[in-house]
């Protein structure tokens, strides 16, 4: 989808302390072979914070306050809030999006929870952009803490490690540091069973072992073909999303200056960058990813924030965001940087 007057007014991130991946290997938490393949240096973890750190929604609130402070006048025009997450938000049968809206000074605007897994950040941009009026803004947040005993950040999924944190992004129809050129989403809902347990439980407490996403993917591959075919199908969905977003932005991959992907380990990220997109690692978000881990739905907001904060983008640069999440869905977005230092400290 091609967009006209939609801008990124600001981003914000709140991350807890980092814990060393090498130390996790020494203590037996992290498999040595995974560490060698992933090249993860550290991940952000709330259990490294004093008093166990803030809840997932509170991390989202903290990130949102940073983004709203940076957004200037756009912060006064928020008409929609979207909150995305992967894991437990601290209470059952509860609306964390409403909590976040209220705690950020928006008690009267619609607040929606978006369950689109790791793809939710970019999906939220696409959905929120369609709701904006001529002088509106939208607050988008993510927040997750991947703690035990039901979640093992180090062993839940091969090829990456999960990190805790909150992220935020403010969309605006007036101005910002970047302009949204296009978005595109492609899906294959027949792949939903990759991340579904063999038998659906009646009660969340019935799950006695930590979540194992790799085991589910292995079982799907055995039942439906093989792992290579599964990876190829996912790559086809991502490729269709990227091609559509680039076409709608009137660009090609050679016009892209920076790429922000889901934060995986180095081997998986290099496969995406070099074989799928045909771009070098140096224009990616790998440097950040290797120190914070996979932030669930927040990788893209955090990656964009890092590009601006670290001075890695200039006016005129084009940035491609590529998501992907269980379901299976993939959303891509193309941005053009217009004023990269307008809110930089």
pLDDT at 341 over 80: no
pLDDT at residue 198, rounded to an integer: 55
pLDDT at 211 over 90: no
Angle value at C-alpha 213, between 113 and 44, nearest 5 degrees: 65
> Would you place residue 218 in the very low, low, confident or very high pLDDT band (cuts 50, 70, 90)?
low
Residue 115 tokens, joined: 């369950």
> Would you place residue 205 in the very low, low, confident or very high pLDDT band (cuts 50, 70, 90)?
low
Residue 67 tokens, joined: 């983004």
Residue 268 tokens, joined: 């998986």
pLDDT at residue 305, rounded to an integer: 97
pLDDT at residue 148, rounded to an integer: 80
- Average pLDDT over the chain reads 90
Type and span of the H or E element at 25: helix 21-26
Question: For residue 294, which of 332, 317, 326 has the smallest C-alpha distance?
Answer: 326
pLDDT at 77 over 90: yes
Chain position carrying tokens 């001075």: 311
Give the span between the Cα atoms of 78 and 109, in whole angstroms: 8
Give the span between the Cα atoms of 174 and 208, in whole angstroms: 50
Q: What is the CB neighbour count within 10 angstroms for residue 187?
A: 18
The answer to whether 69 and 75 are in contact (CB under 8 A) is yes
The answer to whether 140 and 125 are in contact (CB under 8 A) is yes
Give the span between the Cα atoms of 207 and 39, in whole angstroms: 31
pLDDT at residue 217, rounded to an integer: 64
Sheet with 329-337, edge to edge strand ranges: 111-114, 78-84, 137-144, 165-172, 7-14, 178-187, 329-337, 318-322, 258-261
Residue 293 tokens, joined: 């881990």
pLDDT tens, position by position, 270-295 = 988 988 899 999 999 999 999 999 99
pLDDT at 70 over 80: yes
pLDDT at 225 over 90: no
- Return all residues near 195 (Cβ < 8 A) that are at least 6 apart: 117, 213, 216, 217, 326
pLDDT at residue 62, rounded to an integer: 98
Q: What is residue 162's DSSP assignment? A: B
Between 135-144, 156-165, 200-209, 234-243, the lowest mean confidence (pLDDT) is in 200-209
pLDDT at 173 over 90: yes
Mean pLDDT of 128-145: 95
Give the span between the Cα atoms of 173 and 126, in whole angstroms: 13
pLDDT at residue 145, rounded to an integer: 95
Chain position carrying tokens 């006695």: 208
Residue 182 — φ and ψ, nearest 5°? -160, 160
pLDDT tens, position by position, 292-340 = 999 999 999 999 999 999 999 999 999 999 999 887 899 999 999 999 8
Domains of the chain: 7-176 (3.40.47.10), 180-337 (3.40.47.10)
């Amino acid at each position: 989808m091609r967009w006209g007057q939609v801008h990124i007014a600001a981003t914000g991130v709140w991350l807890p302390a980092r814990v060393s991946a090498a130390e996790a290997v020494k203590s037996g938490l992290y498999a040595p072979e995974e560490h060698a393949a992933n090249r993860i240096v550290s991940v952000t973890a709330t259990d490294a914070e004093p008093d166990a750190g803030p809840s997932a929604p509170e991390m989202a609130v903290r990130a949102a306050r940073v983004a709203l402070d940076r957004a200037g006048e756009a912060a006064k025009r928020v008409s929609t809030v979207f909150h995305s997450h992967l894991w437990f938000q601290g209470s059952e049968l509860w609306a964390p999006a409403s909590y976040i809206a209220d705690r950020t000074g928006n008690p009267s605007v619609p607040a929606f929870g978006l369950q689109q897994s790791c793809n939710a950040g970019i999906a939220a941009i696409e959905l929120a952009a369609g709701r904006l009026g001529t002088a509106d803004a939208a607050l988008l947040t993510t927040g997750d803490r991947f703690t035990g005993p039901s979640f093992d950040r180090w062993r839940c999924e091969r090829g990456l490690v999960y990190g805790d944190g909150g992220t935020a992004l403010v969309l605006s129809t007036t101005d910002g540091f970047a302009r949204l050129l296009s978005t595109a989403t492609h899906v294959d809902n027949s792949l939903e069973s990759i991340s579904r347990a063999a038998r659906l439980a009646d009660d969340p407490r019935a799950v006695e072992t930590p979540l194992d996403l790799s085991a589910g993917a292995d079982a799907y591959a055995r039942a439906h073909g093989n792992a290579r075919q599964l990876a190829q199908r996912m790559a086809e969905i991502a490729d269709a999303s990227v091609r559509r977003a680039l076409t709608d932005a009137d660009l090609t991959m050679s016009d892209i200056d920076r790429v922000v992907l889901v934060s995986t380990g180095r081997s998986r990220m290099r496969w995406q960058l070099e074989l799928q997109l045909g771009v070098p690692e140096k224009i990616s978000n790998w440097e950040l990813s290797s120190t914070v881990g996979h932030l669930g739905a927040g990788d893209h907001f955090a990656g964009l924030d890092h590009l601006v904060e670290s001075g890695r983008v200039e006016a005129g640069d084009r940035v491609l965001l590529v998501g992907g999440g269980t379901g299976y869905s993939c959303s891509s977005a193309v941005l053009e940087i217009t004023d990269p230092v307008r809110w930089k400290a």
